[in-house]
Amino acid sequence: MQRFKPLFLSPKHSRITTLPILSHLRNFSSSFLTQNNDSEDLQNQVLVEGNPTSRTAILNRPSALNALNTNVCSRLQKLYESWEEDPNIGFVVLKGSGRAFCAGGDIVALYRLLNEGKVKECKEFFRSAYGFMYLVGTYLKPHVALMDGVTMGGGAGISIPGTFRVVTDKTIFATPETQIGFHPDAGASFYLSRLPGFLGEYLSLTGDKLNGVEMMACGLATHYSPSTRLTWIEERLRKLVTDDPSTIETSLEEFSIADLPEESSVMHRIETIDKCFSHDTVEEIVDAMETEATGSNDELFTSAVKKLKQAAPLSLKVALKSIRDGRYQTFDQCMVREYRMSLQAMSKQISNDFSEGVRARLVEKDFLPKWNPSCLEQVSQDMVNSYFTRLSDTEADLELPIKSREAFV
């Protein structure tokens, strides 16, 4: 069965099976806005393009930057399962319509469900979303994600676990959840914890963005191509008659180019990032970053300190523990743990930070969230540890088909 491809390498993949033939959160706040149009055709939220020996799934909520909801994830799950069983389909492509690949989960919709007391529906979203992400990561056929445009949170969760991850000059990647009182989820604690050094801690705590070139440099992407070449890539993929990953990889490489991150990139500051984010506590990390920002006058460090101080204190400590735990867990273990964490955030038993963050950043947009706890010193270790437990002894964990679909290691 297909295993997780190491993020830092671009190995030639072996044939999988024998067959007949995917600045700051404020700048992106619109990424999460949901368009609650009752007349929206649920079936058309995911379009399908059929080719002789492949299928392309198209996320089709462009007005919401293709944000994920329960319907989208459930439909994708059913489609992918049917394609995996079809011996005439060799590989699958995933793309987005409009200017985004996928902005993540539709968190404004979740916020409204919580306000209406519909916690059950929120749980169903996370079950369906995480279940589909696990399917992508253990898929038996090659998977190509065309990550053109905004790719945040859950958008990364439905693409990074797959075989090929094609980014462009328009790709914008981020995991900005700490800015809304949440935690990097959708498998983030697995793939971020496996980035070089302590870059994963930096990205998860600050929510800073990476462009396509930077994603290639750190291993989050497998191929980089100018967006103007995407039509050529898609045309080539349509004509391929194969189930062989190496054949697909060769085709993608024909349209890929090599580029280096700009001098202003975080990739040129890895030594400092490692020195600051290797500390054991968030308090030490913030102090170290403040020292670097003051001593160097580096705009990136100054911006990072600002983001750390704007984030929810509880979320920062939870995110740090999640990344550190994820470094020693398999993919399925990370997903099960993140499911527990997400339900804790929805339940408001520990804190109301998620609802408050969405309200302040994305709904009312006063950008003045009232975090509780309000500072790092008030966040106890018991609060952090509680975030990683089940809501109750009777609360079911996320069920993944780990016996029939091999987990990542």
Active site (catalytic) residues: 105, 154, 177, 185
Bridge-based pairing of strands 143-147 and 150-152 is: unpaired
Q: Is the dihedral of CA 280, 285, 287, 292 positive or negative?
A: positive
The residues, ordered by sequence, that sit 6+ positions from 338 with a Cβ below 8 Å of its Cβ are: 130, 183, 185, 186, 187, 188, 189, 322
Positive/negative CA dihedral, 66, 131, 215, 264 = positive
> For the chain, what's the residue count?
409
Do residues 172 and 24 make contact, with C-beta atoms less than 8 angstroms apart?
A: no
Contact 3, 139 (CB under 8 A): no
Give yes or no for a contact between 13 and 163, defined as CB atoms under 8 angstroms apart: yes
Q: What are phi and psi of 72, to 5 degrees?
A: -60, -45
Number of H helices, E strands in the chain: 16, 10
**Rounded Cα gap, residues 67 and 194, in angstroms:** 26
Residue 190 is which amino acid?
F
Contact predicate 136/84, CB 8 Å = no
CB 55, CB 76: distance < 8 Å: no
Distance CA 387, CA 343 (A): 9
The DSSP element (H or E) to which 31 belongs, if any, is none
Task: Find how far residue 190's CA is from the centre of its chain.
Answer: 10
Specify whether the CB–CB gap between 164 and 197 falls below 8 A.
no
Rounded distance, CA 362 to CA 26, Å? 8
Q: What's phi and psi for 166, nearest 5 deg? A: -95, 120
